[in-house]
A and B are shown apart, each in its own frame.
Chain A
Amino acid sequence: MKMYAITVKDLTKKFGDFTAVNNLSFDIEKGEVFGLLGPNGAGKSTTMAMLSTMLKPSSGQAWVNGYDILKNEDEVRKSIGIVFQDPSLDEELTAYENMDFHARLYRIPKKDRQKKIIELLQLVELDEKKDNLVKTYSGGMRRRLEIARGLLHEPKVLFLDEPTLGLDPQTRNHLWDYIDRLNQEKGITIILTTHYMEEADKLCHRIAIIDKGQIIALDTSEKLKNDVGGDIITIVSSEKDSLYSVVISLPGISNIEVHDSSITIGLHNAEKHVAQIVNVASECGIPIDSISIHKPTLEDVFLHFTGRTIREEEASGKEQMRMMHRNRK
C-alpha cells in the first residue's frame, strides 16, 4: 500500500443544521502540493481545522502522516506545521522571541534552538530584523515569519490556510517562490487553501475544487482545464437563448453553457470557428455585444462545474459564514 501524507475518508462537519463539510474523501501523496480551491465559506478552513486537530469532525476519519486525527492528536500535531488564515503572532514580542516561544512549545532541544531559528529567519530574509517587535512588521513580513515558524519543528506536512490573503501582488509572488522552494528542496508535503485561481494554478500539483462542503472536481490543473474542452469563447448577448440554439448545431463544439449575462462555448481551435459563429449569429439577426476568446483558466473550470463564477459566490459565502457563526453560539 502506498503511504499517503494525508488520507481523508467521508469527513463531515456540521454546525447545527449547517453542513460545512460534507462527506469529503481524498488522498494526498507525500511531497505533493495539494490545493483546496473554493469560494469563502466552502468548507476549506473547516477541513483544515479538522485535519490539524483543532476541530472534531462530526463523522468520518482522517490520517495525517499515518496518524489518526482522533486517536493520535499529539502525533498529528508534531507532524504538522500550520500557517493560519488569520494572523497568529504575538505582536509584543520580537520575531526571534516568537520563534523561540514556538521552539520551546515543540520541545526543540536547547542546543539546536538558536541555530534553527537563525537558519529559518535567513530563509525568509528576516534575520536582520529578528530583534524588532512584530508590531513594527508589514503584512508580508508577518506572513513570512509565520511560515518560518511553521517550519521550525520540521513538520512532514505544512498547512497553509489562505497564505497570501490580503498581500500585494509583489509580496504574493515572493511567497509563492518560497513555498515552491520549500516543497522542492525539503520535500515537504503542502496542503493549501485558496480562493485565488492563479495561486492554485501556479503552486499546486493537484487541485480539489470545493463548493458547499463537497469536492466537485479533483485533478491536476491541466486536466481540469481540459475538462472545459479546449479554448473558450465568451459571448455577451441580449438574446443569449436564441444564440444558444443556433450555436449548438455547429460542428466542433465540445460544450456550451448559458450563464446570467453570457454564454460560454468550449471548443478546440477557437480562432478558426469564431468567424463562423459570428456569421451564423448575424444571419439570424442576433445581436452580439461582445465576444472574447481565451485559454481556459481555473475560473472557467469553477464556472463549468458549479455554473457560477467564484466571485458571485463571495457574497453568499459570507452569508454562510455568518449563519455558521450564529449557529455556533
Chain B
Amino acid sequence: MDIVYTLWLRSVKRYTRSKSRMVGSLGMPVFLLLVLGFGLNSVVAIPGMEQGYIGFIIPGIISMSVLFTSMFAGIEIIWDKQFGFLKETLVAPVSRLEIMLGQTFGGATTAVIQGLMIFVLSLLIGLEISSIPGFLIAIVFMMLIGISFTAFGIAIASRMEDMHGFQLIINFVIFPIFGLSGALFPIESLPGWVRYLALLDPLTYGVEGIRYGLLGSSHIDPAICFVILSGFTILMVGFGSYLFRKINI
C-alpha cells in the first residue's frame, strides 16, 4: 500500500504544480458548457428535464472533463518512458501491479478534481442539485470513470513507443467515447443501431449515473449503471496491469 501511495503522491504533486495544465484542460469543457448550454437552452427541450438543456448537459460535461483528464493521466506514462523516469520506478524492488495501481489512483484523483471544478462552475451558473446523497452518488461515478479510463490510458501507453500516436488516440478513441456517450443528447433520440453503439460505450453509464446523482432522474437505472461501470473498471484495471507488466524500456 505504501508503494501505491508513493506513486499516487507523485501524480498529485505534479498535478497541483502545473497550474497551466489545470486551467488549460478546463478550457474545452467550459467552452462546450457555455456555448451549447446557453446556445441551445431555449431551442432544445428534453422531456422530463426540469433544468432545461443546460442542466441536462452539465453531467455530460463533468464526465467529459473526467474522461479527458484520466485518459491523459494514463497516457502520460509515455513521457515517463521518454524522459527516463519510468526506469527508476521499474528497477525498484516493487511489483509492477503496485506501480500501475498508484498511477491509476493518482490519475483518477486528478480527474475527479477536474470534474469537481466543472461542478462548482455549474453551481455558479445556476445548477440546483437534487440532494446531498445524490451528490455523493455523482462522486462515486466520477471516481469509477476516473479509475477505469486512467487504467485504459495506461494500457494504451504500454503499447505505444512515443507520443506520435497521441493525435490518433484523441480522435479515434477519446472523442468517439465522449460523443457516443449521451453526454450532449438523450440516447433515446438516436436511431436504432447508433443507440446500440451508445449502449456499448461504458461512458454512457457514467454520464447517466452522474445525471441521476445531480438531477435526480436518468434514462438508465442508476443501479444498472453502477454495475456495468464497476465491471468495466475492474476489467480495465486488469487489462492495464496486464499490459503494463509487459512494458519494455
Q: A residues engaging B (CB < 8 A)?
A: 52-54, 73-75, 77-78, 82, 84, 86-93, 97, 101-102, 104-107, 149, 328-329
Contact = CB atoms under 8 A, between A and B. Distances in A.
B85 A105 contact: no
Nearest to B87: A88
Contacts of B249: 54
Contacts of A86: 84, 87
Contacts of A329: 161
A317 B84 CA distance: 22
Given A84-B84, A86-B84, A101-B10, A107 B91 contact: no
B6 A77 contact: no
Nearest to B84: A88
Contact of B83 (A53, A87, A105): A87
A104 B93 CA distance: 11
Nearest to A107: B2
B17 interface: yes
B131 interface: no
Interface of B: 2-3, 5-6, 10, 13-14, 17-18, 83-85, 87-94, 161, 248-249
B87 A105 contact: no
B93 A102 contact: no
A90 B106 CA distance: 16
| Most chain A CB within a 10 A radius of its CB, from B2, B88, B90, B94 | B88
Given A77-B91, A93-B13, A104-B5, 5 more contacts: A87-B83, A88-B87, A92-B17, A107-B2, A107-B3
B6 to A, nearest CB: 4
Contacts of A74: 93
Nearest to B14: A92
A128 to B, nearest CB: 21
Given A74-B93, A77-B91, A93-B13, A105 B84 contact: no
A105 B14 contact: no
B2 A53 contact: no
A52 B85 CA distance: 16
A101 B91 contact: no
A86 B87 CA distance: 10
Nearest to A103: B6
A90 B9 CA distance: 13
B93 A77 contact: yes
Contacts of B88: 84, 88-89, 102, 149
A52 B87 CA distance: 11
B246 to A, nearest CB: 12
B84 A77 contact: no
30 contacts: A52-B91, A54-B87, A54-B90, A54-B91, A54-B249, A77-B91, A77-B92, A77-B93, A78-B93, A82-B91, A86-B87, A87-B83, A88-B84, A89-B85, A89-B88, A90-B10, A90-B85, A93-B13, A93-B14, A101-B10, A102-B92, A104-B2, A105-B6, A105-B89, A105-B94, A106-B92, A107-B2, A107-B3, A149-B88, A328-B248
